[in-house]
Amino acid sequence: MRTSILQLLRENQNEFLSGEWLSSQLGCSRTAVWKHIQTLLDRGYEIEAVRNKGYRLKVFSDAFIEDAVIGQIRAVWPDAAVEFYSSASSTQTLAHRLLETNTAERGIVIADEQTNGKGRLGRSFSSQKGEGIWVSIVMRPNIPVHQMPQLTLVTATAVCKAVREQTGIELTIKWPNDLLLNGKKCCGILTEVQSDPDQVKSMIVGIGLNVNNNDFPEWLFDKATSLSMETGERFDRLQLLAALIYSMETMFSLYEEKGFSVIKPIWEASAESPGANIRARTRERVYEGINRGIDDDGVLLIEKENGEIERLLSADIEK
Ligand code: BTN
């Protein structure tokens, strides 16, 4: 109920909504509305209450306050297992715990700040308070194990679509897991899969999207950017979050129903164009050659100097 009141206030940001109207919309008494408004005030929302006019949200806020975040998630996934933290060590670690204790089809752990955000290959991921979307999503895609590399690519297309639809910004995909804006990293994806020998059982996909950051630690300065730094605008993280979850749901439904062949052209439309010389580092060695794009499994093809094609399931692209 409180979440619905907040949602109505956010949707009608500049208008007063009367207690009577709110109570009729939500099927509760005016006293109940008043009590929920008091709770929202206690939780830090600036709500103006004027006699004979009603209630209005005073300042535009994309603050990640629990009710607002959960409201956005529930609008898309009413039955998901949801955990919200104003500060967490890493949502990815917490999502592993959620997966162990909860059998819901969808799960989501989200934090306004991570103090020990994790990237691929044991790297850390900078996740400052109030600036981005730091989220780990649990899903149970029904696919055979050999299709595992596709999961990051499907996620990347879903994030690009959500960002495009909410902000008009076109991110580009750097295979396999980075999303770039003007050549700098704006979003990272960390995919972890639980499987038996043949079949994927579940996945935890961590998404770190830099939204309103206007600064980064020095070691990231040349490499990282945010939607805000490149455009000079601030974006509503709550709306972006809802768009992201909706896009994950629709993209993964499409993928499970029709297969990767339908996702591949959508991925290619956002991906860095093939044809450039690249250097790819795997755990074992470094490969140099021409980027020949991905095959039908989502595997990266590199044409070596001798003309042979190397197929890479996962790697770090250095140039
Ligand atoms: C990478 O670029 O190497 C992947 C970065 C993934 C970051 C996200 S933020 C939410 C989730 N929690 C984490 O600790 N990491 C992922």
Q: Tokens 């730094």 sit at which residue?
A: 229
- Computed over every residue of the chain, the mean pLDDT equals 93
Does the pLDDT at position 43 exceed 80?
A: no
Q: Of 111, 113, 132, whose CA–CA distance to 228 is shortest?
A: 132
Q: Of 226, 235, 231, whose CA–CA distance to 184 is shortest?
A: 226
Co-location of 95 and 182 in the same domain: yes
CATH of residue 234: 3.30.930.10
Q: Which two tokens stand for residue 116?
A: 């020990």
**Could you tell me whether strands 277-281 and 47-50 are parallel, antiparallel, or unpaired per DSSP bridges?**
unpaired
- Confidence tier at 7 by pLDDT (50, 70, 90): confident
Ligand 1 centroid–CA 126 distance in Å is: 9
Which of 64, 84, 85, 92 for a ligand 1 pocket mutation test, highest count of atoms within 8 Å of Cβ?
92
Residue with the smallest CA separation from ligand 1 atom 2 is 188
Q: Which two tokens stand for residue 28?
A: 């509760």
Ligand 1 centroid–CA 75 distance in Å is: 24
Co-location of 178 and 281 in the same domain: no
53 among annotated binding-site residues: no
pTM: 0.86
- Confidence tier at 14 by pLDDT (50, 70, 90): confident
Quote the pLDDT of residue 60. 63
Alpha-carbon distance of 57 to 14, in angstroms, equals 7
Quote the pLDDT of residue 284. 87
Task: Kindly report, residue by residue over 231-271, the tens digit of the pLDDT.
Answer: 999 898 988 999 999 999 999 999 999 999 999 999 999 99
Co-location of 195 and 239 in the same domain: yes
DSSP reduced 3-state for 151: helix
Query: Atom of ligand 1 at shortest distance to CA of 208?
Result: 9
Alpha-carbon distance of 241 to 200, in angstroms, equals 26
Does the pLDDT at position 310 exceed 90?
A: yes
196-211 average pLDDT score: 97
Does the pLDDT at position 39 exceed 90?
A: no
Ligand 1 centroid–CA 119 distance in Å is: 5
Quote the pLDDT of residue 175. 95
23-41 exposure pattern, b = at least 16 Cβ within 10 A, e = fewer: beebebeeebbeebbeebe
Query: Atom of ligand 1 at shortest distance to CA of 119?
Result: 3
CB-count burial class (<10 Å; 0-12, 13-18, 19+) for 44: exposed
DSSP reduced 3-state for 94: helix
Quote the pLDDT of residue 61. 67
Co-location of 26 and 75 in the same domain: no
195-213 average pLDDT score: 96
Alpha-carbon distance of 229 to 65, in angstroms, equals 24
Quote the pLDDT of residue 10. 81
Say if ligand 1 is within 6 A of residue 117 CB: yes
Quote the pLDDT of residue 318. 83
Query: Atom of ligand 1 at shortest distance to CA of 135?
Result: 10
Query: Atom of ligand 1 at shortest distance to CA of 178?
Result: 2
Co-location of 95 and 233 in the same domain: yes
Ligand 1 centroid–CA 134 distance in Å is: 7
Co-location of 153 and 293 in the same domain: no
β-bridge mates for residue 110, sequence order: 84, 135
Say if ligand 1 is within 6 A of residue 176 CB: no
Say if ligand 1 is within 6 A of residue 126 CB: no
Does the pLDDT at position 314 exceed 90?
A: no
Let me know: does 29 contact 23? Beta carbons within 8 Å: yes
Task: Kindly report, residue by residue over 108-149, the tens digit of the pLDDT.
Answer: 999 999 999 999 988 999 999 999 999 999 999 999 999 999
Alpha-carbon distance of 64 to 154, in angstroms, equals 26
Scanning the chain, the segments in alpha helix (DSSP H) are 2-11, 19-26, 30-42, 66-76, 91-101, 150-167, 227-231, 237-258, 260-270
Co-location of 136 and 239 in the same domain: yes
26 φ, ψ (degrees, to nearest 5): -100, -5
Say if ligand 1 is within 6 A of residue 201 CB: no
**Could you tell me whether strands 81-85 and 107-111 are parallel, antiparallel, or unpaired per DSSP bridges?**
parallel
60-78 average pLDDT score: 83
Co-location of 260 and 293 in the same domain: no
Quote the pLDDT of residue 184. 96
239 among annotated binding-site residues: no
13-34 average pLDDT score: 92
Quote the pLDDT of residue 283. 85
Let me know: does 213 contact 128? Beta carbons within 8 Å: yes
CATH of residue 43: 1.10.10.10
Question: Which 8-state DSSP code applies to residue 156?
Answer: H
Co-location of 258 and 294 in the same domain: no
Say if ligand 1 is within 6 A of residue 134 CB: yes
Does the pLDDT at position 215 exceed 70?
A: yes
Please report, rounded to a whole number, the percentage of residues in the chain having pLDDT higher than 70: 99
Domain around 53: 2-57
- Please give the biggest Cα pair distance in the chain: 80
Among residues 35, 57, 79, the one where a domain terminates is 57
Let me know: does 169 contact 231? Beta carbons within 8 Å: yes
Quote the pLDDT of residue 180. 97
Cα-Cα-Cα-Cα dihedral of 165, 171, 177, 183, to 10°? -170
Query: Atom of ligand 1 at shortest distance to CA of 90?
Result: 14
Q: Cα separations (Å) of 94 from 77, 118, 138, 154?
A: 19, 12, 11, 23
Alpha-carbon distance of 241 to 249, in angstroms, equals 12
Co-location of 106 and 228 in the same domain: yes
Say if ligand 1 is within 6 A of residue 92 CB: yes
Quote the pLDDT of residue 209. 98
Quote the pLDDT of residue 3. 77
Other beta carbons less than 10 A from residue 125's beta carbon: 19
Co-location of 91 and 149 in the same domain: yes
Co-location of 209 and 115 in the same domain: yes
Which of 125, 186, 204, 314 for a ligand 1 pocket mutation test, highest count of atoms within 8 Å of Cβ?
125
Alpha-carbon distance of 225 to 242, in angstroms, equals 22
Alpha-carbon distance of 122 to 142, in angstroms, equals 28
